[in-house]
Amino acid sequence: EQAALYEAVVNDMLAQIDQSGGIQRRGLILAALVKLKQVCNHPALFLGDGSELPHRSGKCERLAEMLEEVLAEGDRALIFSQYRGMGELLKKLLEDAFHREVLFLHGGSTRLQRDAMVERFQQGDGSVPLFLLSLKAGGFGLNLTAANHVFHFDRWWNPAVEDQATDRAHRIGQVQRVQVHKFVCIGTLEERIDVLLEH
């Protein structure tokens, strides 16, 4: 499903770009890049149709597998996405998969909600070991040293933004080794972004 949607977006984009020029052409390309990144995350994010979530996204399946190991070890994880909509989908998917609450900090969270979520995650009892954050809302100003895993579910164009997000776990007071996991759909725009960021 993801591959078919990806190909459809590419074909549609190419047809529209051939018939446009200048600023309109740039706008179409930018819109298509966003759509392609959404398809790589989950078809439901791209379609926005509220359809079923399980077993439709390779990234989501892999994330659930890895988080199962994280939880089995008694570890805690931060999961970053640049899309609030993807965070909402992941929250539902992960809560259904693991039958436990998953915190989600995004741009619409109040200061009070943000502080309460950080405090709950940082508590020593580890009762809420998974913390989803939108990249912009959680990218700076937070101290989340309880985490020893950081997942970047989708890649941002600017590596400094990703590094700032990762640094939420790499703060003064961190005594654990932190593992950073970056998800990339092979053979897609995401792989190109990854190569770009590495260079």
Kindly report, residue by residue over 8-20, the tens digit of the pLDDT: 999 999 999 888 8
Measured at the CA of 86, the angle between CA 43 and CA 10, to 5 degrees, comes to 40
Position 6 pLDDT exceeds 70:
yes
What's the pLDDT score for residue 197? 82
Position 128 pLDDT exceeds 90:
yes
Under a CB-based contact definition with an 8 Å cutoff, are residues 106 and 84 in contact?
yes
What's the pLDDT score for residue 155? 85
Q: What is the pTM of this model?
A: 0.92
- Determine the average pLDDT of the residues in 34-56: 93
Measured at the CA of 24, the angle between CA 20 and CA 29, to 5 degrees, comes to 85
Residue 174 identity (one-letter amino acid): Q
Residue that wins the pLDDT comparison between 126 and 187: 187
Dihedral (CA of 130, 34, 162, 57) sign:
positive
Residue 166 parent element (H or E): helix 159-166
Under a CB-based contact definition with an 8 Å cutoff, are residues 150 and 179 in contact?
yes
pLDDT tens by residue, 53-106: 899 999 999 999 999 999 999 999 999 999 999 999 999 999 999 999 999 999
What's the pLDDT score for residue 143? 87
Give the separation between CA 89 and CA 99, rounded to whole angstroms. 15
What's the pLDDT score for residue 198? 82
Burial class, 69, CB count within 10 angstroms (exposed 0-12 / middle 13-18 / buried 19+):
exposed
What's the pLDDT score for residue 172? 65
What's the pLDDT score for residue 121? 95
What's the pLDDT score for residue 141? 74
pLDDT tens by residue, 134-178: 988 876 678 898 999 999 999 888 888 888 888 888 776 777 889
